Structure 1
Amino acid sequence: MTTVDEVINKHAVAQAFSRAAQSYDNAADLQRRVGNELMQRMVAHPGSLLLDAGCGTGHFSRCWRARGKTVYAVDLAPGMLEKAAELGSADRYLLGDIDALPLPDGTVDLVFSNLVVQWCGSLRATLAELYRVTRPGGMIAFSTLVQGSLWELSHAWQQVDGQSHVNHFLSDEQIHAACSPWRHELHFCQKTERFPDVITLMRSLKGIGATHLHQGRTGGLTGRQQLHALQQKFPRENNALPLSYQLAYGVIYHE
């Protein structure tokens, strides 16, 4: 998540996402668009047992089951996993950390992890754990945020109170380096969402649970005066507030 490995408060991350379990599906348009593209990078693989690593409410677990896969769904947030189970998303549910999966070596054919690994302290260590539970001949596909994501929000906050209020993300080069122990492919792109005002934008981030800042501050809704100041400082495009996401799509092949 940062330019160096760091210790992440996983309990706080889990709490933030658990609180968002009921609102997530209504706010997760970007997550679905990115996940759909990630799926296309692995649909040709014949493997039958798939791990949805960081399943959230189970949207993609359900998509994979509809394609005939047997799905293990794992998530750090109890609220998310409960919602996924309520929706009948997977064949098996596992409450756990993708950095320490409760699975033996070589359990699954495929690992799908959509916009999750940015919440881990070391991308290479996380990928090594996903590699561990994958069988030879299997595939790991992940998406993550890259340096420069949410720059409009960070820039506006810097002008309001001198602080970023946005987590740091790895650069292209750091993601390449994290994947270097294995045969892999990486693709980078940008997607931009647009909002009518700051309140809608901040509620969208809160709705998907992306409110935990590793530096210890909360990214939730703030006071009216601060939001008004943020609205004034936010860059605009065609009377809308843009929020840009720099994205990486990665595929790792288990030799």
Structure 2
Amino acid sequence: MSINNHKQGIARSFSRAAQHYDRYAAFQRYCGERLRSLIGPRRSSQLLLDAGCGTGWFSRCWQREGNYVIALDISAAMLVIAQQQHSAAAYIIGDIEQLPIATSTVECVFSNLAIQWCEDLPQVLNQFHRVLRPGGILAVSTLAYGSLHELELAWRQVDNNIHINRFLPQTDIAAAFQAYNHKIVIEQKTLYYSKLIDLFNEIKGVGASYLYIGHGLGLTSRTRFRALEEAWPRHALGLPLSYQLVYGVLYRD
């Protein structure tokens, strides 16, 4: 499948989730707040690009602090929700690997859990760096190899198909940042669910079920569902699902 077809598939997946995204996005909000804390205090009245803005939750945060926000997303339906909530000053449908933003335009780029959907991380960082003004800052969060580990292990007990996307190793993500003045923070976050159906509903609810290769989260029968639940590792707090998080802050010299 071509890159363009993948991008269309990703956009469709997030568009289907747009209406109910915020109901399931507690983890995304956690990561975004963590990322905002790493940037530190910023003066207001800045031109800020929220790249992969979704429904505009963090666009609204930045806007409330007095910034002029450009909300960009690959999903038209997500941007509709963001616009309905008056999240930003401008809205752009676009791909962060080919940013439709002029060079040296914005003072801050904020991108929360979006770049793991891209094909070429060095290209993404190059694009972000290009649109920043001198003295500007980029803050991104992404998922690394090892994320959804429990999901992968449990599926292996049910069939031999691929059911999760491959995430870049932390070392590859760090290497992509090496060309720039930057800092990186690593975090592991484990969520717990009382029922497996709640876990699946959350992944699908935020639009994160698109697969480049494989069979997605679909379950063909109750028997397969029970087999997956029985194969899941147990914890006193519930069914665990782990994420390997990488936060990167890049400074434009």
Q: Identify if the C-alpha distance between structure 1 residues 102 and 162 changes in structure 2 by more than 3 Å, giving closer, same or farther.
A: same
1:5-44 alignment, distance < 5 Å:
7=3, 9-44=6-41
1:23 match: secondary structure? helix
- The amino acid across from 2:18 in the alignment is A
CA contact (8 A) 2:162 2:214 kept: no
CA contact (8 A) 1:155 1:164 kept: no
- The amino acid across from 1:76 in the alignment is I
Correspondence for 2:56 among 41, 45, 58: 58
Aligned to 2:178: 180
Cα distance in structure 1, aligned partners of 2:7 and 2:49: 20
Q: Identify if the C-alpha distance between structure 1 residues 131 and 222 changes in structure 2 by more than 3 Å, giving closer, same or farther.
A: farther
Instruction: Please give the root-mean-square deviation of Cα atoms over the aligned residues, in Å.
Output: 1.4
Cα distance in structure 1, aligned partners of 2:38 and 2:48: 14
Cα distance in structure 1, aligned partners of 2:40 and 2:78: 25
- What runs of 5+ residues in structure 2 fail to find an aligned partner? none
Aligned to 1:171: 169
Aligned to 1:143: 141
Moved more, 214-223 or 234-243: 214-223
CA-to-partner distance for each residue in 1:199-255, whole Å, 9 max, x for gaps?
111111000101101114333454322211111100110161000000000001111
- Work out whether 1:46 is the aligned partner of 2:28: no
Indicate the percent of aligned positions where both proteins have the same amino acid: 46
1:22 match: secondary structure? helix
Aligned length: 250
Q: Identify if the C-alpha distance between structure 1 residues 66 and 220 changes in structure 2 by more than 3 Å, giving closer, same or farther.
A: farther
Cα distance in structure 2, aligned partners of 1:62 and 1:221: 37
Cα distance in structure 1, aligned partners of 2:217 and 2:78: 19
1:161 match: secondary structure? coil
Cα distance in structure 1, aligned partners of 2:216 and 2:164: 10
Q: Identify if the C-alpha distance between structure 1 residues 136 and 69 changes in structure 2 by more than 3 Å, giving closer, same or farther.
A: same
- Work out whether 1:77 is the aligned partner of 2:75: yes
Aligned to 1:123: 121
Q: Identify if the C-alpha distance between structure 1 residues 222 and 25 changes in structure 2 by more than 3 Å, giving closer, same or farther.
A: farther
CA contact (8 A) 1:99 1:129 kept: yes
Q: Identify if the C-alpha distance between structure 1 residues 99 and 131 changes in structure 2 by more than 3 Å, giving closer, same or farther.
A: same
TM-score relative to the length of structure 2: 0.95
Aligned to 1:111: 109
Cα distance in structure 1, aligned partners of 2:133 and 2:225: 49
TM-score relative to the length of structure 1: 0.94
- What runs of 5+ residues in structure 1 fail to find an aligned partner? 1-5
CA contact (8 A) 1:115 1:143 kept: yes
Aligned to 1:225: 223
* Structure 1 residue 180 displacement after superposition: 1.1
Deviating beyond 6 angstroms after TM superposition, the runs of 4 or more aligned structure 1 residues are none
CA contact (8 A) 1:51 1:108 kept: yes
CA contact (8 A) 1:202 1:221 kept: no
* Structure 1 residue 7 displacement after superposition: 3.8
CA contact (8 A) 2:162 2:215 kept: no
- The amino acid across from 1:217 in the alignment is H
Cα distance in structure 2, aligned partners of 1:212 and 1:168: 12
